[in-house]
Structure 1
Amino acid sequence: MPMFGTIKPEDQQRYVGPFWSDRTKECRTRTLGARIRRSSYACTAPIEDSDNKTPATAPYNGERPEAAPLVLWEGCTSNGTAHKIIVDPMLTEYLRQHQRDGVQFVFDCLTGIKKLNLPPSFGNSQEVTGCLLADDMGLGKTLQSITVLWTLLNQGFQKRATVRKAIVVCPASLVKNWASELEKWLKGRCKSTPVAESSRDAVISLYESFKWNQTSKVLITSYECLRLHVGRLKDCPIDLVICDEAHRLKNDKAKIAAAIGEISTKRRLLLSGTPIQNDLEEFYSLASLCIPSALTDPTKFRKYFSNPIMIGREPSATPSEQKKAEERLNEMQKICNEFILRRTNELLAKVLPPKIVFAVFCKLTEVQEKQYHEILSSTACVKVMNASNGKQALSHIQKLMKLCNHPSLIATSSTNSCSSSPSRRGSRRIANRKLLVLAAKASSTDRFVIISNFTQTLDLIEDMLRRLGLAFFRLDGATSIKKRHALVTQFNVPNSNTFAFLLSSKAGGCGINLIGANRLVMFDPDWNPANDKQALARIWRDGQKKHCYVYRLFSTGTIEEKIFQRQLSKDSLSSMVVTDGETSGLKDCMEKEDLRELFQLNVNTLCETHDLLRCKKVECGGTEKSCKEMNEGDLLSWAHHAKGENVTEPISMQAIHSADSNAEQVVSFVMSIWIEYKEETKKESNVKERDVEEKAIEDSDVEEMGIEDNDVEMEDASQV
């Protein structure tokens, strides 16, 4: 198996701890591309200073069954003394099975146990010293990282620490969160130096003091601070770098990536739930930062891997081009399997309450539709489309996106003539969202996270909540770093009376845990599917106790639907490279021509995205629970509701079947999926695993009779 190996000197053999034999086949094989297929702060509520409080997601303090020891390595030191590296029991008791597997994988990578077997044309194999942990959001990448960090700070192959000092680099909004996580899981035993200061002199002072501070072992800093002050760490004995939200390093020529490259250590742990955002070139940047030369130099990578794979994905690709693309993709996956670990959030369904996702498509109002046509027919817009000027086109796209949210967000004469009252601004989408919020408040104690890409949209929602007398918090780019952690912590208090958390996806879409709410509304899509995935994962996470409801809102036939379609195309690339090498029917049927019609308004459809799906279901409908598979990435497996028919969730029904002032229905189409781990799913998985085991026994019997060719036997055995 690829996760087995040896470490120098020759007599130091790696030992697999007692937990290994109990690992599920699903977790054991779920590495990158090689797994068995499974079917301004604002509020109306008081904010307390929570810097010294225990985080709302603190570990359970009651009695727990004793966890099996997690032995990462067993062997002999250089003088022949027997030695084991065992994870601290205070962490082992909180690790789920997939997290134990992840800790083992990361440890093997960072300590050089694993080897990178490159194709002959790439040169000799090399030692793995870096790792990209690409688990989906909510699977506990932070806890796994802290477990490995604490182990390496205290243990090593020669009975001394492997890591003297470490750096955690993350977005500025997560610096305090990382400090709290270290305090929470390690119970104050690991002193850290968090750098979340805005003053240059304060940052310099903290950097300088960390170098000589014997008690502080971990520096927690933002990407921007590291870029500006990495030179001050030149003489510091740093043996490990952890990069959270590492997809920000997608450009290997960026100054931040260069700053990380200046740190002498080769041990680099990159964390990202969305390792691919736009293309394979960005993925190459992450992989090469993790392990330089893992995928050869940029020119050879582009020629050998990227170009053939992308050509083979084109609808016009020939069979030979498709075959070549598949071969190169499999070859790249084999290399990446050695240092990249990716598990999907399907694992969360086993330990979290059900999640119901709704994609809600709403027709424009007459005012919005009229202004939309005015923008498309304007001289400036026509000139941009004819000239194919990307920069100027972006400004018009932004204008259309704002118009989809509300007419008042764009400066036109017709907008100025609209009433300033929130209830009369001409947007059915705002009415729809009002009803979602109002219905939830009237019928339950559920709380909301409301996310938008535009602070102007958050202004409208804030105005609405104030008029309704509902308490809320708001986090956007104007919120200071110091107050962000306090806002999140206070909102997650179980008995909080704060109804909603308004969140800017640009400022707080990554890494924030908002399990105090169980309903999330995404007002508008982003071009980058990774940004939306990050934002949508804020509530369905470890610690959530209630059913979760996620509402993604789109304006029918507009630029928002086309952005959503483009997201699906980008997301297919991520699915190909970091999951299992297969794409869904939806992603295959999306053609580039469908995505280029950005500046068109389709008013004669209930849902343009559903039209492009070419749905072949005999009965295109059903309820949220009617979908047979938990495949959130494939809209063909979702339930489809024309005009919201057959939606059974009460709050959604009230919102979907509401009418505007002209007695017209607000919603034109709904797609939904119910994600829940059921006993039948577990049974199906067990049957598949039993079939695999029986196949292995049959192959073994055939081998004994000498019937099969030896090479074929070896191939079958490796697959099993």
Structure 2
Amino acid sequence: ILADDMGLGKTAQVCSFLHALRKMCGAPGPHLVVCPVSTAGGWARELGRWCPLLRVVRYRGAQRCQLQRIVAGVFVVSPATLLQDKAFFLKRVWQVCIFDEAHALRGRTSAISELTPRIDAAFRVAVTGTPISVSPVEVWNIMRFLYPAFGRKLAAPSSGDASQEEHSQTAAILRSVMIRRTKESLELGLPPRIDHPPTLIEMDAEQLALYRAALAGAVADESTEGMSNVLMNLRRVCGHPWMFRIHGNRSANDAALTARERLRVARVPFEESVIVGSSAKMCHLDRLLLAKKQGGHRVLIFSNFTAQLDLIEAMCELRGHSFGRLDGNSLRAERELLMAKFNHAASRIFCLLVSTTAGGVGITLTGADTVVLYDSHFNPQMDRQAADRAHRLGQRRSVEVYRLCVANTIDERIVRMSTFRAGIGDRIVDGATSEASVQQQVIQDIRADARSSAVDQAALADGVEKLARLSARVPSAFEGTTAASSTCQVASACFGCGRADGHRLSCPGCNKWYHATCAEGRTSANAARWRCQRHKCCECGVAAQHEDVVFMCVQCPNSYCYDCLEEDYVSMEGSENGIDFPHLRSSYADMAVDGVPVRRNVFFLTCPQCGGAGQASESESESMHDSESGVDDSD
């Protein structure tokens, strides 16, 4: 188990290890790296940097037939794709199998925990900065991956509270198999991280009435499911009461809408009195952001709720803050582009809104020097991971961490219990004590509060009524409206050869037409589903799926996936506003004429062959090609 603190270069260490195997032992692979989608791009870059002799393969299901012929190199795959194409990975013999963010194996009966011990590998490495999040059982689940034969005979600790003996056994196991360095034990020249005490915020009378109304549900329904709903409702009231309206009006196409459109669907007024004034936390965050902006700082804001991120995004629009957003709906390439943009020295993006679960693990966001934990996670290690997105190698400024907490509410109880449990991993290594579940302890406290609280019944009834109005589903603001019709014109010439004569074959995806000789893959059998060559990468040949981002040239049919895109295109050098990439854009001059809508997964550029950004680097690499030496598997 490689368990260095977050931000100490665990990825670089593993890459150097694979390079040493290739250079010193003649082991070209195949190796397997299983990592979250958000870190896959980072792994590919680090492997290319530290393992120049190894071929790096970003595995996607659509490539399965092509990749079966590759016998060496490093395969990078997400857990979801591993489960989807498990037959491909189980029939291979791997030299090294690496599982990044191995705390994801904490569920003993989860599909990924059952699959990974079956992978045939000569050597295994589990990479995690938090080998224990909440229970010693997690260490034993990682052990099942590292030592499958031993794991089959393993009697793991119970899933409940662990005994002192089980804690001692876990500590002994960790000392035998874990390599761990902490930031405090190394002299890295890393600027300090300043963790401010939780900021206790008082609610106003109206928000307090809503909280008491939600708390009354703990008396009405004490079942496990009922208490889980009560906990969620209490957390929503503490964060922002209008989260009830947004959550209650979710729809299937929410991912395709902007935050402002989602607020419009839920009929949330786009006004300062509602977006900011309805929540004590938002008022405090508003003042904090203004102070940080005046001081020249840049901010990461973490929340566990996407509805809360919608409201914070609306506040940023109202205040004129430049911002980006990274959550579970972000496409892989969108994540990579946003991180490259935010971390660049020339970036002027003031704040980045991040979902704790989707963006709090395994990514680098050193462009910020301030971290705001808007709400706390039940798992204390998730908040630790989130704060360390900014405080890691590459950071040149001191990092300040703020935790917002509403006083005398569930917020304060979660913070108190999480703080109590935050060091459980270290304590187990040193000989720890048994802990109770944070969520179960909070539920017990909430029940006690609900029984003992004495409130004005009239005020309680008023709060219940307001809560019901906020939670009600409302008619969509888009009901009864029709999409505006647009007049589009068919292109005057073939987009492949530029000639205007001949029979036309139109692509329904981008409204371009081609001659039959210029249209790759067009046959009578696939005519209805045909898309032109702009919808697949001209370098690797992979067709763009709905979850992929494609980069289309505006002057020729060339298109690229993110993995094949020249680095010059994702550089902020030359950006006029410090917010947008100078060589990428989401639209082009004749887009309205072509009748093509703006899509979040399509960007436009001028490719190197047409004189775009990558032309210089391409010519330089060609001139150096003859003088370079290497091995076959480095292609």
TM interval, short-chain normalised: 0.5 to 0.7
Match of 1:302 in 2: 157
Work out whether 1:189 is the aligned partner of 2:53: yes
The amino acid that maps onto 1:170 is C
Q: Secondary structure at the match of 2:315?
A: helix
RMSD of aligned alpha carbons: 3.1
Change (3 A) 1:417 1:502: closer
Match of 1:408 in 2: 242
Pick aligned residue for 2:271 from 412, 421, 430: 421
Summarize the alignment of residues 545-694 of structure 1 with structure 2, pairs less than 5 Å apart.
Answer: 545-578=396-429, 580-581=430-431, 596-599=444-447, 600=449
1:244-277 C-alpha deviation (Å, 9 max, x unpaired): 1111111232211222222111411011111112
Pick aligned residue for 2:285 from 433, 449, 461: 433
The amino acid that maps onto 2:219 is V
Match of 1:153 in 2: 22
Contact 1:526 1:532 in 2 (8 A): yes
In 1, Cα distance between equivalents of 2:187 and 2:372: 20
Contact 1:166 1:219 in 2 (8 A): yes
Match of 2:212 in 1: 373
Deviation at residue 283 of structure 1 after TM alignment: 2.2
Deviation at residue 410 of structure 1 after TM alignment: 2.0
For structure 2, list consecutive stretches of 5 or more residues without a partner in the other structure. Answer: 249-265, 455-635
Summarize the alignment of residues 515-526 of structure 1 with structure 2, pairs less than 5 Å apart.
Answer: 515-526=366-377
Pick aligned residue for 1:459 from 310, 316, 326: 310
Change (3 A) 1:514 1:352: same
Deviation at residue 176 of structure 1 after TM alignment: 1.4
Deviation at residue 402 of structure 1 after TM alignment: 1.1
Contact 1:234 1:263 in 2 (8 A): yes
**Identical aligned pairs, as a percentage?**
29
Work out whether 1:210 is the aligned partner of 2:79: no
1:483-514 C-alpha deviation (Å, 9 max, x unpaired): 11111011100121111111111211111100
1:438-497 C-alpha deviation (Å, 9 max, x unpaired): 01112x221111111111111111111112222111111121112111110111001211
Question: How high is the TM-score relative to the length of structure 1?
Answer: 0.55
Match of 2:563 in 1: none
Q: Secondary structure at the match of 1:338?
A: helix
Work out whether 1:364 is the aligned partner of 2:213: no
Match of 2:117 in 1: 261
Contact 2:272 2:318 in 1 (8 A): no
Q: Secondary structure at the match of 1:458?
A: helix
Contact 1:562 1:595 in 2 (8 A): no
Deviation at residue 220 of structure 1 after TM alignment: 0.3
Summarize the alignment of residues 261-300 of structure 1 with structure 2, pairs less than 5 Å apart.
Answer: 261-292=117-148, 297-298=153-154, 300=155
For structure 1, list consecutive stretches of 5 or more residues without a partner in the other structure. Answer: 1-131, 198-202, 313-324, 605-720
Pick aligned residue for 1:514 from 358, 365, 371: 365
Work out whether 1:351 is the aligned partner of 2:199: no
Contact 1:153 1:165 in 2 (8 A): no
Q: Secondary structure at the match of 1:563?
A: helix
Q: Secondary structure at the match of 2:347?
A: coil
Deviation at residue 332 of structure 1 after TM alignment: 4.0
The amino acid that maps onto 2:446 is L
After the TM superposition, which segments of 4 or more aligned residues of structure 1 sit over 6 Å from their partners?
416-419, 590-595, 601-604
In 2, Cα distance between equivalents of 1:143 and 1:181: 6
Contact 1:133 1:340 in 2 (8 A): yes
Deviation at residue 420 of structure 1 after TM alignment: 5.7
Match of 1:333 in 2: 171
Contact 1:169 1:223 in 2 (8 A): yes
Q: Secondary structure at the match of 2:371?
A: strand
In 2, Cα distance between equivalents of 1:213 and 1:311: 48
Q: Secondary structure at the match of 1:597?
A: helix
Match of 1:170 in 2: 35
Pick aligned residue for 1:231 from 87, 90, 103: 87
Match of 2:459 in 1: none
Match of 2:44 in 1: 179
Match of 1:107 in 2: none
Question: How high is the TM-score relative to the length of structure 2?
Answer: 0.63
1:37-64 C-alpha deviation (Å, 9 max, x unpaired): xxxxxxxxxxxxxxxxxxxxxxxxxxxx
Change (3 A) 1:346 1:296: farther
1:369-392 C-alpha deviation (Å, 9 max, x unpaired): 1001111224xx32322xxx2222
Contact 1:367 1:407 in 2 (8 A): no
Match of 1:448 in 2: 299
Contact 2:378 2:439 in 1 (8 A): no
Deviation at residue 173 of structure 1 after TM alignment: 1.7
1:335-354 C-alpha deviation (Å, 9 max, x unpaired): 33221123333246752112
How many residue pairs are counted as aligned between the two chains? 430
In 2, Cα distance between equivalents of 1:376 and 1:250: 32
Contact 1:452 1:524 in 2 (8 A): yes
In 2, Cα distance between equivalents of 1:261 and 1:576: 28
Change (3 A) 1:331 1:392: closer
In 2, Cα distance between equivalents of 1:175 and 1:267: 21
Q: Secondary structure at the match of 2:215?
A: helix
Q: Secondary structure at the match of 1:440?
A: helix
The amino acid that maps onto 1:573 is I
Deviation at residue 541 of structure 1 after TM alignment: 0.5
In 2, Cα distance between equivalents of 1:591 and 1:429: 22
Change (3 A) 1:183 1:423: farther
1:404-440 C-alpha deviation (Å, 9 max, x unpaired): 1112112499xx9997633453322111111111011
Work out whether 1:528 is the aligned partner of 2:365: no
In 2, Cα distance between equivalents of 1:492 and 1:456: 26
In 2, Cα distance between equivalents of 1:348 and 1:512: 21
Contact 1:138 1:348 in 2 (8 A): no
Contact 2:117 2:146 in 1 (8 A): no
1:222-246 C-alpha deviation (Å, 9 max, x unpaired): 0000011121134433111111111
Q: Secondary structure at the match of 1:506?
A: helix
Summarize the alignment of residues 118-129 of structure 1 with structure 2, pairs less than 5 Å apart.
Answer: none
Change (3 A) 1:421 1:603: farther
Residues 246-255 or 479-488, more deviating: 246-255
Contact 1:252 1:286 in 2 (8 A): no
Change (3 A) 1:331 1:429: closer
Change (3 A) 1:477 1:332: closer
Q: Secondary structure at the match of 1:341?
A: coil
Q: Secondary structure at the match of 2:16?
A: helix
Contact 2:19 2:50 in 1 (8 A): no
Q: Secondary structure at the match of 2:85?
A: helix
The amino acid that maps onto 1:143 is A
Change (3 A) 1:603 1:383: closer
Match of 2:607 in 1: none
1:554-573 C-alpha deviation (Å, 9 max, x unpaired): 11111112222332344343
Change (3 A) 1:257 1:419: closer
Residues 342-351 or 520-529, more deviating: 342-351
The amino acid that maps onto 1:397 is L
Q: Secondary structure at the match of 1:225?
A: helix
In 2, Cα distance between equivalents of 1:333 and 1:281: 12
Deviation at residue 204 of structure 1 after TM alignment: 4.1
Q: Secondary structure at the match of 1:249?
A: helix
Q: Secondary structure at the match of 2:212?
A: helix
The amino acid that maps onto 2:243 is L
Deviation at residue 596 of structure 1 after TM alignment: 2.2
In 2, Cα distance between equivalents of 1:431 and 1:175: 37
